[in-house]
């Protein structure tokens, strides 16, 4: 992402957030650092930074509860957090389609395009265990294998990190379509949606 100085009152730029993914453990076995490693069986770990725009931080709710007293209602906190809604990230596809490929392979891990079950391409290998037995073994399909933390950095006008949002135990649930037209000179954009368990916020 290019470094562009701008006034703090200039709101014309839309990519003021940077999304960083850490690979889940099961995908690290097929990751490569080298940007030229373009193979169908690997993903490029260095491509996991997304210049994003749109709504990327969900609402944070701790709801109230009504207590009846003397014909009236008094509100108190429930001291609970409902499940967060999934987050949909708009992002620009890089010219090698590497960032798109990472999300695609992640979804393919969760449900293989041909075998239609978890880890159909046998990325996570265990000696003397058949793919069918592996898919039925809860320890081998543990969420820890395919979930990871996703970090979103909010940037200031000088592209310095100011706030960090950490989405824990995240995994993708949807990869958007690609719309392209030669009549439009803009870069190719799409979306991906991910589910997560907790949202942690920290000043940087």
| Number of domains into which the chain is organized | 1
Each residue of 66-80: pLDDT tens digit? Answer: 998 888 999 999 999
Each residue of 154-175: pLDDT tens digit? Answer: 888 788 889 999 999 999 999 9
Question: With 0-12 CB in 10 A as exposed, 13-18 as middle and 19+ as buried, what is 192?
Answer: buried
Determine, yes or no, domain membership for 83: yes
The answer, as to whether pTM is greater than 0.85, is: no
Query: Could you tell me the residue range of the domain that residue 142 belongs to?
Result: 17-57+71-203
Determine, yes or no, domain membership for 170: yes
More confident residue, 131 or 81: 81
Each residue of 21-59: pLDDT tens digit? Answer: 888 888 887 887 655 667 787 777 655 677 677 668 889
Alpha-carbon distance of 18 to 27, in angstroms, equals 22
Alpha-carbon distance of 167 to 52, in angstroms, equals 15
* Residue 182: DSSP 8-state: T
Determine, yes or no, domain membership for 156: yes
Alpha-carbon distance of 49 to 67, in angstroms, equals 47
């Amino acid at each position: 992402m290019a470094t562009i100085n701008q006034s703090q009152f200039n709101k014309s730029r839309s990519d003021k957030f940077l999304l960083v993914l850490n690979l889940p453990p099961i995908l690290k076995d097929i990751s490569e650092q080298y940007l030229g490693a373009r193979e169908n069986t690997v993903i490029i770990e260095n491509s996991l930074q997304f210049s994003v725009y749109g709504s990327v931080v969900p609402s944070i709710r701790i709801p109230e509860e009504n207590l009846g007293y003397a014909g009236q209602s008094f509100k108190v906190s429930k001291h609970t957090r409902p499940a967060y809604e999934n987050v949909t990230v708009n992002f620009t596809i890089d010219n090698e389609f590497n960032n798109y490929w990472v999300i695609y392979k992640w979804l393919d891990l969760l449900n293989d395009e041909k075998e239609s079950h978890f880890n159909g391409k046998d990325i996570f290998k265990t000696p003397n265990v058949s793919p069918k037995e592996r898919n039925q073994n809860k320890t081998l399909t543990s969420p820890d294998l395919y979930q990871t933390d996703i970090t979103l950095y909010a940037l200031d006008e000088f592209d310095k990190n100011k706030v960090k949002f950490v989405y824990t135990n995240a995994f993708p649930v949807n990869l958007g379509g690609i719309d392209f037209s030669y009549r439009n000179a803009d870069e190719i954009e799409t979306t991906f949606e991910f589910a997560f368990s907790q949202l942690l916020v920290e000043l940087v």
